[in-house]
Structure 1
């Protein structure tokens, strides 16, 4: 009977998720924080303060909360431990904002996640606002006209009192990237007066108001001179825990720190976006792997735009069940190729020269990413190749006698079959049917070096004879010149040295006479 009720309850919860509540929310607050501008969000709903569930609570929600509380911009949203409903008497609400609302009551209320409803779990968050600095009338959190809170009121900042180091601190305080544009002319003048603070940061501070700020009695900033700033968006991504920058667990820089990406909605299309963003070629597989940790770990749920394949953005923080991973086509580092001969190799404009009739060796090598593998040396004639197993990540190909057929372009191709440990993986041909295959994922990778041009030329004794005769001759001339100079002028040096010794002995004799 219980098995029949569970799908029915799940279906009912899914239907309720898309139904907006008609009840009114009368206010919002942040509790259990350092002040009224940080803490766990609660909303006044039907006369009671209710916990705001973190399932839909993200930066956009935090922006509205901070705006309503007159606390500047949202700079951080952190995940709290799960709370079971029976452990608290507080009600809870799931609320979704677009980020442009002036009050939290204008956001849409939705029902709780169906699985959390069945498991009786509340996800709560902490929101942290910047109660002293904000960027207004821009395209997002990280751009706009700079305003600073002073004596409980917001003021604009004059561009004459602001420089690049100050901009670095503001972008850091707002958890954005680095300053990109200073004095962007598109953000208007605003309605707040200019303040009297002149900021003198040294780029080590984390908050603008901790910088040196000598006050002036009055502000003479002309209209149109307010600071307007654009910081880079905090959407950095990287791959970790792999032997290549193009394979591993996905991490996103979010809320001022690197967080692992949750695999709840992960697929091969999102993996392709990450590979393209990191300049790692195409996605061979998207992977999902258990964390392997006993204690809960918090990650970030992301979404990647299909209209702009290199743009991924965070949705919300969430407890990790499985980690999102990706394996890109540019997994292996590019190998290198070099030429050596028993006789010193000369170099022309076309490339290194080897001598006809003498031996030479071509060496292929690669970075120590994975053991094993093999090298294939592509030869300049008949599209042939020679192969050897990699030993200590390199292989050497010996050519006993150079002739005209050896002239041309060579390249090294490194191949290695790599096995990736993961729970499940999805390849491109599986995305249409949303199918996943059990791990591990293995793939035969290959990477080719840059072409290397080789010139075959006749050996000539002339350079060696010239070198053998010219070097001793130059040494003989140099030694003879030094000998003649010393023979002609050496007595001056000897005489000068004797006079110095005699002068040094005079004071000693004088001292002895006086003592007698």
Structure 2
């Protein structure tokens, strides 16, 4: 067991307390009394708040009370003596390290005046050379942190920091199994011995032929080996001989590994964080630090905040590249944090994540050969260097290694099982060059047409509305891909996401029907089996959704009948009439052109004779949205062509209503209000297309009357309107062309006939019980021969005008008037006033004009009896 010598520590200020009761023991103790005391060595001393029973803050028990030792003003040379005796009393062997600790709040402490030589068995055997001391309770911010160890050792070498790993068990000293004894566990082992980190790359041979072994299963967050799960085994592969570096006066603590963390230095047996108060340290200094740690190259340094103000060593270096030794004690809440590479490095490259691969073995760095390397080893290397993932430029050269047999999941390259390379293996060495990247490289992404097999070559890629399309993502990587992810609506609050398990490192995402919502940017990425939480660099592609306009019917009069032509590869050609053409294909053409259903189709001869055309190969059932969804074409010499006639051949007619010689379609009210007994007329017309034909009036879904189309127009007269004329009217145009009767219908008009056409009206309010008239509700006013809502944007409207309306309707006086909000803007009336409030009719002192608004006027009248209607 390695012991730290007394002369490694210098004197430092500590105040120590000792209990009077403990000082009553004399130096001439009898043997039987000493044996009795040793049976209870743990009764009055302990180490607390450490990683285990053999580390922590030193405390003593006196008069039933546990307190820390106030060590502030005790001579520095004696601090090691206290630690040595404490480790021995705890049954923990020798002292590995001591540290003076400070606390934000005062700790209860004992102040004593005694020293320990280190040879005593218990702390109470220690004596003051002048006096027995006196007991005193104090509070102190200073305490002594101690780390002990005697549970492990390295054997077989003359050096204490190298050899075969052994640990102490109930059966005595046993060897360590290789399984579970990874690089982090080895570093913990070396640290507990008081040595530096391991220097070899596990290229050694076991020592001895043991019969018992201990296997460790450390999780990686333990601070001491005894905290790891372990169990005894009678057979296992013995861990290879390891070499720990000599004890150093520098160390990195608090990081995930011993190659990163807060930089601490040991001076006069005391470890303190280092602070570069003068910014005198350069990268070459920290490179030396990484070398002392047994680590690879220097990565980075930062100044981190400590949890509290504590003692530090303040550095003051010269320009020399060796790490300076001029340290001065002070207090600070800042310390240097250094990150080094582990036992792996990339050299002679443009960055620390690219270059030729070297690994440390013993005191030297050695290149790695391609013949000793593998894909899995490349993964572990980039992970070890904290550089992400390997690029694929030379991955095909990696073969299963006879030296580094990595599984790909190891945290460090040195954790990979390995064997020693022979001289023959090293004679021809093609050194590994490796480039790592933060994330796996981006995949390839493509858009496919409706058949899902051909790439869309346009830029940006276009897909056609209603058509099937697909997006494929392909990964070019030698590693096992777990899943491929596709995302759309990037950057929105609700992106769409699809994930597939790859087939041959490819995923195809099929969209059955393209809609406007599919237009936008898509992102594809992927993850590996061994790092499912990290996705690759993304690959983006933008998609446009357009209408497909690759068919047309050639005819001067209409777009819905004529000779069929189709565009393919930028070239328009007629379609040859072949035996595969039928009404099913014609129905698809009519649907694609928005021309209704197919009426007829046939073959016609072309006047120019034999010419290039398209021969159509069909698989259509008639329900498809576009012709090329269910067929394909090839160039074909032909004198025939296909004629298609669709039901939507006729243009849509127009409808107009005239009342007392005024047309009532200058605006779009909900209905046209006509007065009973007055005449009106409806005019049907259509743009010139085909001669002849006739118009019919569809009234409430039935054709009531019809007239021939004269100059593409027909007039229908109604001499006297009555309640029977209330309903919906539309014009139906009928003509006989292409050997069939075709029809087309106009938009519809709603007409309401009332006995008396009032100038003002309240609707949607409560009806009075006596006569059914409404004296409350939204106000309608007459404009031309229709009623329009009165807009609340009328600025002159007030209770004076409201009372005028109530009086005109015979509803008494006005109780209230207010604005109401509508869901959207619609055509209303705006009132322009010259009223003083005494008039008998609203339009007798004002007028209205059309106005688009989203708010209307509502009013409530008292009614005939002077009482308000109930709402």
TM over 0.5: no
Q: Which has the higher contact order (CA 8 A, sep 6+)?
A: 1
Q: Give the alignment's TM-score, normalised by structure 1.
A: 0.43
Which of structures 1 and 2 has the bigger CA Rg?
A: 2
Q: Give the alignment's TM-score, normalised by structure 2.
A: 0.26
Q: Which has the higher helix share?
A: 1
